């Protein structure tokens, strides 16, 4: 279903990452991939995923480094000449700010969380736009804490709310070019990013208990939804937040 389509995946930390599940689903559907890693320390965890997904390119990308961003898109343009889809699956907040009350969040921590988690999507979408000459798909990863107050999610709630709002605005601005923009919203998953949240086990137990399906979502299931949204089956789907959480968000 994705044969001939070329995609950039940003945000794999290790094999258990949501972005890793998406990478494998994209590959299984026939896509060609460019995968990035944050730094040399992260490369040893990302490279096995890139190899398993048969990635054409494995490139360094710290989204706060504009030169690295330029280099990634230059390589994509040189090797492919186009880009069909982009997955943005990154978020960050300093621990002290993440574990404290929103009202106590520092200006620096809030600004850094917004820059890495939200404005980086804008920067990547800006660079992807000219390479999506025949249309394309941009995906990002959110969480139900963007819509409802979730205990211990703290400042990442407002940050994810900003991410979802940004997704909607980008979808309207890029829609005339047939570029669709959507957010994926999985339930609690045992990922490296989630491990930084206080009392995360409580969120896991709550999801298992209250979700209509009474189980956790897997990264493979998130990947399946991501791959579907990139295919032409979803050609009318944009400005949407797709929940992959066993129905937990309605309870």
Q: What is the pLDDT of residue 151?
A: 87
**Structure tokens belonging to residue 168:** 């909607």
Write the pLDDT tens digit of every residue in 26-63: 999 999 999 999 999 999 999 999 999 999 999 999 99
Q: What is the pLDDT of residue 113?
A: 98
Write the pLDDT tens digit of every residue in 4-15: 999 999 999 999
Write the pLDDT tens digit of every residue in 111-136: 999 999 999 999 999 999 999 999 99
Q: What are phi and psi of 186, to 5 degrees?
A: -75, 160
Write the pLDDT tens digit of every residue in 68-97: 999 999 999 999 999 999 999 999 999 999
Q: What is the pLDDT of residue 18?
A: 96
Write the pLDDT tens digit of every residue in 150-208: 888 999 999 999 999 999 999 999 999 999 999 999 987 765 555 556 566 777 787 78
Claim: this prediction has a pTM higher than 0.85: yes
Q: What is the pLDDT of residue 205?
A: 80
Give the active site residues.
Answer: 143, 153
Write the pLDDT tens digit of every residue in 196-247: 565 667 777 877 888 898 888 899 999 999 999 999 999 999 999 999 998 8
**What's the chain look like in SS3?**
CCCCCEEEEECCCCCCCHHHHHHHHHHHCCCEEEEEECCHHHHHHHHHHHHHCCCCEEEECCCCCHHHHHHHHHHHHHHCCCCCEEEECCCCCCHHHHCCCHHHCCHHHHHHHHHHHHHHHHHHHHHHHHHCECEEEEEEECCHHHCCCCCCCCCHHHHHHHHHHHHHHHHHHHHHHCEEEEEEEECCCCCCCHHHCCCHHHHHHHHHHHCCCCCCCCHHHHHHHHHHHHCHHHCCCCCCEEEECCCHHHC
């Amino acid at each position: 279903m994705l044969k001939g389509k070329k995609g950039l995946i940003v945000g794999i930390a290790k094999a258990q990452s949501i972005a890793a599940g998406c990478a494998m689903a994209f590959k299984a559907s026939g896509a060609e991939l460019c995968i990035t890693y944050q730094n040399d320390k992260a490369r040893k965890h990302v490279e096995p995923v890139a190899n398993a997904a048969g990635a054409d390119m494995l490139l360094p990308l710290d989204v706060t480094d504009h030169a690295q961003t330029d280099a990634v898109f230059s390589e994509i343009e040189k090797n492919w000449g186009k880009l069909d889809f982009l997955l943005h699956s990154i978020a960050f907040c300093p621990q002290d700010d993440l574990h404290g009350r929103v009202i106590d969040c520092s200006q620096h921590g809030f600004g850094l969380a917004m820059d890495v988690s939200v404005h980086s999507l804008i920067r990547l979408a800006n660079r992807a736009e000219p390479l999506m000459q025949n249309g394309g798909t941009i995906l990002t990863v959110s969480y139900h804490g963007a819509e409802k107050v979730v205990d211990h999610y703290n400042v990442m709630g407002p940050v994810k709310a900003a991410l979802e709002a940004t997704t909607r605005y980008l979808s309207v601005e890029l829609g005339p070019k047939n570029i669709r923009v959507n957010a994926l919203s999985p339930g609690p998953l045992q990922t490296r990013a989630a491990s930084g949240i206080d009392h995360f086990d409580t969120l896991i137990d709550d999801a298992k208990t209250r979700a209509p399906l009474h189980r956790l979502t897997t990264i493979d299931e998130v990947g399946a939804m991501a791959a579907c949204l990139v295919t032409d089956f979803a050609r009318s789907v944009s400005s949407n937040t797709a929940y992959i959480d066993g129905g937990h968000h309605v309870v």
